[in-house]
Chain A
Amino acid sequence: QVQLVQSGVEVKKPGASVKVSCKASGYSFSSYGISWLRQAPGQGLEWIGWISVYNGDTKYAQKFQGRVSITTETHSNTGYMELRSLTSDDTAVYYCARERVYSIHEFEFWGQGTLVTVSS
């Protein structure tokens, strides 16, 4: 069965960077894209960006452009999201999610979420 398993809780200081991983199993990793999303406390869902595992193409929300990098490692079936220059506004649960069909951006499978807390 399809599974996305994310790395654990992170606590960071303002100005630092965080890199969250998402290990996929149960399907052909290169055949689907992966998006990263987040939910801040008391807020709704927010899309951060997407990567085509097949060819490495990426798309980012303008809000995160220049501060985020989404990558994959095909030999380990793992995706990564790095967010730099963290502020308290980046405190959130971060999710990776696999699209339902390649390049059709609805999210059928999700990781369990990774809590990132930014605090001095």
Chain B
Amino acid sequence: EIVLTQSPATLSLSPGERATLSCRASQSVSRYLAWYQHKPGQAPRLLMYNASDRATGIPARFSGSGSGTDFTLTISSLEPEDFAVYYCQHRSNWPLTFGGGTKVEIK
């Protein structure tokens, strides 16, 4: 099973600041990595797939990069609605697994 490790666990930032979230895989997942945003009481929302492709309707302030074992999700300038928990997920093989999440909180 591929283990995804996200860091940091919590990111305390102010609106307008840049957020950089990391996801590291225990073995190569090529570019088969997705990112999700999850807010309390809501279903998760797909942000990125194939490491760097934005899902439908996702604002351009969200970008993804990486391949192999190291991936980054960047939010260029945080909006109030961006404060949430973010998860990475691979689809390289079975089983599908998620990282433990990064909480982006208001400083």
| Chain A residues within 8 Å of B, Cβ to Cβ | 35, 44-47, 50, 59, 61-62, 95, 97, 100, 104-108, 110-113
Contact = CB atoms under 8 A, between A and B. Distances in A.
Interface stretch (B11-19, B64-72, B94-102): B94-102
7 contacts: A46-B98, A47-B89, A61-B96, A104-B91, A105-B96, A106-B91, A111-B43
Contacts, number: 56
A45 B44 contact: yes
Interface of B: 1, 34, 36, 38, 43-46, 49, 55-56, 87, 89, 91, 94-101
Contacts of A45: 36, 38, 44, 87, 89, 98, 101
B95 A100 contact: no
Given A45-B98, A46-B98, A100-B46, 9 more contacts: A44-B99, A44-B101, A45-B38, A47-B98, A62-B1, A62-B95, A100-B55, A106-B49, A112-B43
A61 B89 CA distance: 14
Secondary structure type dominating chain B contacts: loop
Name the residue among B96, B97, B100 with the largest chain A CB count within 10 angstroms: B96
Contacts of B97: 47
A104 B55 CA distance: 14
Given A100-B46, A113-B43, A106 B34 contact: yes
Contacts of B96: 35, 47, 50, 61, 105
A97 to B, nearest CB: 8
B46 to A, nearest CB: 5
Contacts of A95: 43-44
A78 to B, nearest CB: 18
B40 to A, nearest CB: 11
